[in-house]
């Protein structure tokens, strides 16, 4: 098999090639390193290569016998430490300090146990706060589908690398859409799992907004990697109900006739989304109807209440402030405005001004939103379909810095609600616009029902395959 063909084999397929002894782990890893060396100068996704370590780890007998033994993998450089490797979280202060992580996160230990070989760490915006990957610390990552456009954020480095064929899958995280946004912009599968589905240990809190998983090119990879990593760790603050069976068994399983709601405009009568995004969602609805599901225009009424949905902003800014405090603790000093980007400092200052009572009100609004969303699913709905984003991928620079922050709300009107509620949501690459840019479609299920999303996603993958779509950037 040529390297070009191997580049587009998904993680499940690459692992099978190793089991069948058609390739070795070393050959897979060295091929991925070669692709990164050729392609990444155009994309700038991999900011911390660990090529020598990966080659050593991939040697015969050096890897665990897991479901993905020998498959090359990238880790997002944000709150996901890998022992002995740089960790900058998109921050100049950590880069200048040369910070090295002392140990793996529990999730990264699970990736290693599954047999993945870490070939590097990927670019992310500072503290993962914005939906584009253009940190001052490391520079912009480019979208493989059009190098002038953003790959999204905050998992933009991971998504760009997978979309460009460097690796078949990469770690990603999602606190307000940061898996789904870059999956949409880069033409990938991106599942935000339920709160408590995957441990955030030992350093992070499962009851907060963020979750971890991956970006992939196939639904079966998304499911198989979830099987390898799902489950709580000691002392976890939230634990999702265990799956009824392995997630890979949901791929190809009959979901039955589902009751599906469609939301193709901004919630709260806030106006239409971009025509490309509305067309993508309506096309997905048509595909689902053709598969035998009942689809009608409906969505949870609570999404129209701006007073409730707007509470996310205060929590996000408090998170920014906590990020600066945590980084200061690592460095042994308090950070100043000179240590971070202006937008990060502005958000952190807003977070500083939020009182304990105001924060409690934000948490209460989150409870109200979660209850309101849950009621809609309790009324008999199975899935909500929306555009993933309100606009196609913007050009680099359009949403970075203080001038671009106002555009963020227009770009991400559909993702943050489900970080608050903790529900699973997946972005699928079902549409490309006339400029050749991917336009994702989001499907949301009830809490704990990743199984429903994976069944439907697999149906759509068969109905309208995307595996043969490849960006023009050479891999």
Strands 117-122 and 438-445: unpaired
The CB-based long-range contact list for 98-106 (8 Å cut-off, 24+ gap) reads 99/330, 99/331, 105/79, 105/80, 105/81, 105/201, 105/202, 105/203, 106/199, 106/201, 106/202, 106/233
Nearest to 232 by CA among 84, 360, 136, 107: 107
Between CA 14 and CA 304 the distance in angstroms is: 45
Pick left, alpha or beta for residue 380 (phi over 0 → left; psi -120 to 50 → alpha; otherwise beta). Answer: left
Known catalytic membership, residue 154 = yes
Strands 425-432 and 189-192: antiparallel
111, 171 Cβ separation under 8 angstroms: yes
156, 184 Cβ separation under 8 angstroms: no
Catalytic choice (178, 184, 194, 210): 178
What is the 8-class DSSP label of residue 212? E
Nearest to 443 by CA among 431, 430, 464, 428: 428
Known catalytic membership, residue 192 = no
Catalytic choice (154, 155, 173, 427): 154
Q: Helical H runs in 58-105?
A: 92-97
In this structure, what token pair is assigned to residue 164? 């460009």
Known catalytic membership, residue 178 = yes
Hey, is 380 helix, strand or coil? Answer: coil
339, 281 Cβ separation under 8 angstroms: no
Catalytic choice (76, 92, 95, 192): 76
Between CA 163 and CA 185 the distance in angstroms is: 10
As annotated, the active-site residues are 76, 154, 178
């Amino acid at each position: 098999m040529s390297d070009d063909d191997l580049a587009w084999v998904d993680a499940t397929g690459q692992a099978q090639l190793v089991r069948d002894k058609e390739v070795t782990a070393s050959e897979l890893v060295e091929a991925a390193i070669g692709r990164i060396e050729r392609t990444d100068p155009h994309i700038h996704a991999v900011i911390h290569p660990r090529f020598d370590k990966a080659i050593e780890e991939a040697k015969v007998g050096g890897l665990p016998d897991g479901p993905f033994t020998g498959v090359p993998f990238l880790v997002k450089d944000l709150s996901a430490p890998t022992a002995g490797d740089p960790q900058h979280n998109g921050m100049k202060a950590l880069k200048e300090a040369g910070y090295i992580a002392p140990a793996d996160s529990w999730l990264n230990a699970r990736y290693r146990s599954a047999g993945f070989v870490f070939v590097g760490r990927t670019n992310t915006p500072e503290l993962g706060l914005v939906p584009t990957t253009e940190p001052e610390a490391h520079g912009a990552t480019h979208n493989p589908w059009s190098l002038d456009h953003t790959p999204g954020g905050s998992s933009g480095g991971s998504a760009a690398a997978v979309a460009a064929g460097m690796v078949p899958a990469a770690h990603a995280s999602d606190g307000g859409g940061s898996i789904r946004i870059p999956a949409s912009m880069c033409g990938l599968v991106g599942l935000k799992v339920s709160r408590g589905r995957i441990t955030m240990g030992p350093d992070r809190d499962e009851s907060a907004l963020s979750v971890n998983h991956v970006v992939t090119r196939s639904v079966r990879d998304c499911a198989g990697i979830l099987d390898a990593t799902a489950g709580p760790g000691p002392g976890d603050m939230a634990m999702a109900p265990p799956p009824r069976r392995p997630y890979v068994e949901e791929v190809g399983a009959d979901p039955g006739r589902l009751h599906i709601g469609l939301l193709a405009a901004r919630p709260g009568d806030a106006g239409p989304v971009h025509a490309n995004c509305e067309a993508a969602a309506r096309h997905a609805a048509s595909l689902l109807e053709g598969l035998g599901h009942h689809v009608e225009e409906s969505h949870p009424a609570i999404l129209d209440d701006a007073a409730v949905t707007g509470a996310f902003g205060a929590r996000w800014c408090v998170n920014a402030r906590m990020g600066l405090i945590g980084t200061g603790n690592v460095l042994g000093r308090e950070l100043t405005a000179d240590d971070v980007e202006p937008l990060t400092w502005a958000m952190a200052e807003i977070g500083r001004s939020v009182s304990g009572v105001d924060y409690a009100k934000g948490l209460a609004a989150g409870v109200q939103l979660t209850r309101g969303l849950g009621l809609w699913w309790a009324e008999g709905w199975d899935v909500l379909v929306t555009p993933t984003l309100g606009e196609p991928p913007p050009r680099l620079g359009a949403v970075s810095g203080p001038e671009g922050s106002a555009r963020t709300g227009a770009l991400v009107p559909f993702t943050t609600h489900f970080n608050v509620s903790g529900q699973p949501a997946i972005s699928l690459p079902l549409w490309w616009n006339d400029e050749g840019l991917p336009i994702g479609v989001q499907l949301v299920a009830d809490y704990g029902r990743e199984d429903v999303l994976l069944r439907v996603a697999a149906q759509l993958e068969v109905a309208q395959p995307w595996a043969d779509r490849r960006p023009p950037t050479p891999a």
